[in-house]
Amino acid sequence: MLIQIRKRSDPRSSEITPKSAYLDYVSRRRFLGTAVAAGMIGSLPLPASAAAPKKAALQGVVKSRYKLDEPLTDTEAATGYNNFYEFGTGKTDPATYSKDFKPKPWTVAIAGEAAKTATVDFDDLIKPHQLEERVYRLRCVEAWSMIVPWVGVPLADVIKRFEPSSKAKYVAFETLNDPQRMPGQKSRVLDWPYVEGLRMDEAMHPLAILAVGMYGEEMPNQNGAPIRLVVPWKYGFKSIKSIVKIAFVEKEPPTSWNRSAPNEYGFYSNVNPTVDHPRWSQAKERRIGDSLFSAKRPTLMFNGYADEVAALYAGMEMKKNY
Ligand SMILES: Nc1nc2c(c(=O)[nH]1)N[C@H]1C(S)=C(S)[C@@H](COP(=O)(O)O)O[C@H]1N2
Ligand SMILES: [Mo]
């Protein structure tokens, strides 16, 4: 490393630095980091590891009935334009800074209100299930979208194996917290680890999957290797990446974006073109890969799954429960 990165344990961090100076420091560091990666500083060649790590083709994947009548987003776009703050806040940061991330070996802790709790190796968690391809639209709250052929297993089938009790009203998810492996965690843009949650009936809905790959291959690091959630009727940020813990809980669990901006991001975060984000409209979206001059596309209620999921929210005021 050319530039010294301050360690978490270093006392000269945000505790004693005025916040503005600290943020300035963080953004300067991020700029320098980008410059180094882009080979802009000095005449340094890019490190040998600069190529994206090769991901294996997934075997035994069956097509599912979940398809969309729209062309798939190019792999390059879906793996080159990401939100994954553990690897930086810029859209190309995750692809750049996750190249050295080693997602295996990997374990997921299953905890909380269930008959069976355990720390399970990735293969043991996934192998008992049939891998399916599910073509879903990922609709970010920033009003862009992509059409992605995810590969995964129904979350409900995984949950059932651990026999949650009647006290399990919600499912809480947690991303890996390891600033050595996820350099974006050295800055405090979010409270680490990233956390998310679903109500139990949402988690048990057949549309919700644990995804382990996309485009027929293992999950790229920048998209949440080795295992992430995909909940297609909710905004993209509910689809938490690189999951290390799944806990069955009685009370509504905290979620990262709600914690950081409660007036902008609620627990439910269902895609809804009629409820605007406080700072911008949610009525339309820009498809990643479309020309900037082409028309935006209308956003669909529940991202197009109203028939399947609206019943989960019967009687709930969607403007209040955003
Ligand atoms: N752990 C973690 N999960 C995350 C995020 C993140 O920053 N950290 N970003 C979310 C947001 S805002 C979106 S839109 C999707 C993006 O998924 P993609 O990069 O596979 O398109 O991941 C979500 N999951
Ligand atoms: Mo997002």
Q: Which residues of the chain have pLDDT under 70?
A: 1-50
Q: Which pLDDT belongs to residue 54?
A: 85
For residue 155, report the distance from its CA to the centre of ligand 2, in Å: 21
Whole-angstrom Cα distance, residue 246 to residue 12?
A: 34
In a domain, 322, yes or no: no
In a domain, 286, yes or no: yes
What are the two backbone dihedrals, phi and then psi, of residue 18, each rounded to the nearest 5 degrees?
Answer: -55, 145
Q: Which pLDDT belongs to residue 52?
A: 76
Give the amino acid at 46.
L
Give the amino acid at 94.
P
In a domain, 5, yes or no: no
Whose alpha carbon is nearest atom 8 of ligand 1? Answer: 84
Q: Which pLDDT belongs to residue 77?
A: 96
Q: Which atom in ligand 1 lies closest to the alpha carbon of residue 257? A: 12
- Alpha-carbon distances of 51 from 37, 95, 96, 99, 219, rounded to whole Å: 12, 10, 9, 7, 16
For residue 143, report the distance from its CA to the centre of ligand 2, in Å: 8
CATH number of the domain to which 129 belongs: 3.90.420.10
Whose alpha carbon is nearest atom 10 of ligand 1? Answer: 237
Rounded to the nearest 5 percent, the helix, strand and coil shares of the chain are: 25, 25, 55
Whose alpha carbon is nearest atom 7 of ligand 1? Answer: 84
In a domain, 321, yes or no: no
Residues 6+ apart with CB under 8 A from 48: none
Nearest one of 150, 132, 145 to 241, comparing CA atoms: 150
CB 284 within 8 A of CB 312: no
In a domain, 181, yes or no: yes
Please give the helix or strand (H or E) that residue 243 lies within, else none: strand 243-249
Whole-angstrom Cα distance, residue 30 to residue 37?
A: 10
In a domain, 2, yes or no: no
For residue 239, report the distance from its CA to the centre of ligand 1, in Å: 6
Residue 174: give the domain boundaries. 15-55+63-313
Helices (H), the chain: 19-37, 75-78, 93-97, 122-126, 155-161, 200-203, 256-260, 306-309
Whole-angstrom Cα distance, residue 40 to residue 93?
A: 16
Residue with tokens 């209308």: 298
Q: Which pLDDT belongs to residue 287?
A: 97
Pocket of ligand 1 (CB under 6 A): 82-86, 138, 140, 175, 194, 223, 236-237, 239-242
Best of 85, 136, 151, 239 for a ligand 1 pocket test (most atoms within 8 Å of beta carbon): 239
Q: Which pLDDT belongs to residue 45?
A: 38
Q: Which pLDDT belongs to residue 53?
A: 81
Whole-angstrom Cα distance, residue 124 to residue 116?
A: 14
Q: Which pLDDT belongs to residue 41?
A: 35
CB 3 within 8 A of CB 33: yes
In a domain, 318, yes or no: no
In a domain, 1, yes or no: no
| Ion ligand 2 residue ranges (Cβ < 5 Å) | 83, 140, 236-237
Q: Which pLDDT belongs to residue 39?
A: 34
Nearest ligand to the C-alpha atom of residue 288: 1
Whose alpha carbon is nearest atom 22 of ligand 1? Answer: 237
Q: Which pLDDT belongs to residue 64?
A: 97
Q: In what order do the strands lie in the sheet with 243-249?
A: 118-121, 107-112, 243-249, 170-175, 195-199
Q: What is the pTM of this model?
A: 0.86
How is residue 322 written in tokens? 């955003």
Nearest ligand to the C-alpha atom of residue 148: 1
For residue 138, report the distance from its CA to the centre of ligand 2, in Å: 9
The pLDDT tens digits of the residues spanning 211-267 come to 999 999 999 999 999 999 999 999 999 999 999 999 999 999 999 999 999 999 999
Nearest ligand to the C-alpha atom of residue 141: 2
Q: How many domains does one find in the chain? A: 1
Whole-angstrom Cα distance, residue 179 to residue 271?
A: 31
Nearest ligand to the C-alpha atom of residue 239: 1
